[in-house]
């Protein structure tokens, strides 16, 4: 893909000037942050307009997970960093392996901390980074690009489609180039940025909201949630140890001592501890019932008498 011309770039919605913020540099501090915040108000509504496409994407991700597949994000710059961020937070939040949700960024790990702006221009690099993951038809690949034309992402999505993976394009511009290589296009049109072209702002916020929806909804549907509680959370620090205790207490109505004892017997597995408290069964039987229910605590409880 050749470099965009000035004519092409200026017609991208995310690159156009915002008529509401021409006086951005003339505001006092409160006026400045108020003006930016006013632009942010429409981001959630832009995401709302894409909920049917997002739900479709979630269903494909769940199908992939149930078949042993993975969710792979790939992007450059802010878009890539947001994908990595969402991916690395899944293991402690949902108790999944680090290989189930993967974030790839143009320029590699160093690009998370120091901008590697030229890295996004190489479609072959996107192919190589994705090929290194040995993708298959069980996987879902989400290409993230605010502009919708990033060559690194275009190359990756084209390759993913050739491998039979489900492909999803996430951009903030209508008729984005990456849509041509995607089974599902998610396009929250947030409009011009308050600071022209700074897509780390509204576009980045919209992308973060969409990624939150994709992983959270998919994890809920594969049994990582009971009511609205994170019942597969991994207690990897003291805060999460306390949170695990609180989750058991909230789910069962038991006191702190009972929750702590149940978690001890359950080797820290929150879902197992909740099942034990509610049914009076031992950890072995709790795990057996949960396995039969494919990890869905509500379904396991529905099949088991409670005390």
Average pLDDT over residues 241-252: 96
Average pLDDT over residues 247-262: 97
Whether the per-residue pLDDT at 217 is higher than 90: the answer is yes
User: Rounded to the nearest 10 degrees, what angle do helices 77-88 and 202-221 cross at?
Assistant: 30
Q: What is the pTM of this model?
A: 0.92
pLDDT higher at 7 or 204: 204
Average pLDDT over residues 73-87: 96
| pLDDT in the model for residue 9 | 57
Whether the per-residue pLDDT at 8 is higher than 70: the answer is no
| pLDDT in the model for residue 118 | 79
| pLDDT in the model for residue 5 | 61
| pLDDT in the model for residue 214 | 98
Alpha carbons 273 and 258: distance in angstroms, whole number: 10
Whether the per-residue pLDDT at 4 is higher than 80: the answer is no
Beta bridge partners of 168: 142, 184
Alpha carbons 167 and 154: distance in angstroms, whole number: 11
Q: Which helix (H) or strand (E) holds 186?
A: strand 184-186
pLDDT band at 304 (very low <50, low <70, confident <90, very high): confident
Whether the per-residue pLDDT at 257 is higher than 70: the answer is yes
Whether the per-residue pLDDT at 209 is higher than 60: the answer is yes
Whether the per-residue pLDDT at 264 is higher than 80: the answer is yes
Average pLDDT over residues 209-233: 97
CA angle 269/83/233 to nearest 5° reads: 10
Q: Which helix (H) or strand (E) holds 72?
A: strand 71-75
- N-to-C CA span, the chain: 64
Distances 23 to 17, 20, 235 between C-alpha atoms, Å: 12, 8, 48
pLDDT band at 219 (very low <50, low <70, confident <90, very high): very high
Whether the per-residue pLDDT at 22 is higher than 60: the answer is yes
Q: Which residues are catalytic?
A: 89, 120
- DSSP letter assigned to residue 46: H
Whether the per-residue pLDDT at 58 is higher than 80: the answer is yes
Average pLDDT over residues 91-119: 91
| pLDDT in the model for residue 11 | 62
- 201 near 195, Cβ under 8 Å? yes
| pLDDT in the model for residue 305 | 77
Whether the per-residue pLDDT at 1 is higher than 80: the answer is no
pLDDT band at 7 (very low <50, low <70, confident <90, very high): low
Residue 188, classified by CB atoms within 10 Å of its CB into exposed (0-12), middle (13-18) or buried (19+), is buried
pLDDT band at 235 (very low <50, low <70, confident <90, very high): confident
């Amino acid at each position: 893909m050749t470099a965009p011309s000035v004519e092409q770039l200026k017609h991208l919605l995310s690159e156009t000037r915002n008529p509401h913020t021409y006086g951005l540099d003339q505001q006092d501090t409160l006026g400045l942050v108020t003006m930016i915040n006013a632009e942010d108000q429409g981001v959630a509504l832009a995401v709302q307009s894409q909920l049917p496409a997002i739900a479709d994407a979630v269903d494909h991700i769940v199908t992939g997970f149930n078949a042993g597949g993975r969710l792979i994000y790939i992007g450059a710059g802010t878009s890539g960093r947001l994908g990595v961020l969402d991916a690395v937070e899944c293991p402690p939040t949902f108790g999944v392996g680090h290989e189930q949700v993967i974030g790839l960024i143009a320029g590699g790990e160093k690009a998370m901390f120091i901008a590697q702006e030229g890295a996004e221009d190489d479609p072959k690099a996107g192919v190589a980074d994705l090929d290194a993951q040995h993708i298959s038809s069980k996987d879902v690949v989400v290409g993230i690009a605010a502009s919708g034309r990033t060559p690194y992402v275009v190359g990756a999505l084209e390759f993913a489609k050739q491998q039979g993976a489900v492909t999803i394009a996430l951009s903030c511009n209508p008729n984005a180039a990456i849509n041509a290589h995607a089974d599902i296009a998610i396009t929250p049109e947030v409009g011009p940025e308050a600071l022209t072209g700074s897509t780390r702002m509204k576009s980045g916020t919209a992308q973060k909201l969409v990624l939150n929806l994709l992983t959270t909804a998919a994890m809920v549907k594969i049994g990582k949630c009971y009511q609205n509680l994170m019942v597969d959370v991994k207690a990897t620090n003291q805060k999460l140890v306390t949170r695990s205790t609180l989750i058991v207490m909230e789910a069962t109505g038991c006191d702190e001592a009972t929750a702590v004892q149940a978690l001890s017997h359950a080797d820290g597995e929150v879902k197992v501890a909740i099942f034990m408290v509610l049914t009076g069964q031992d950890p072995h039987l709790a795990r057996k019932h949960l396995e039969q229910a494919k990890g869905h605590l509500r379904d396991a409880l529905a099949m088991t008498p409670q005390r």
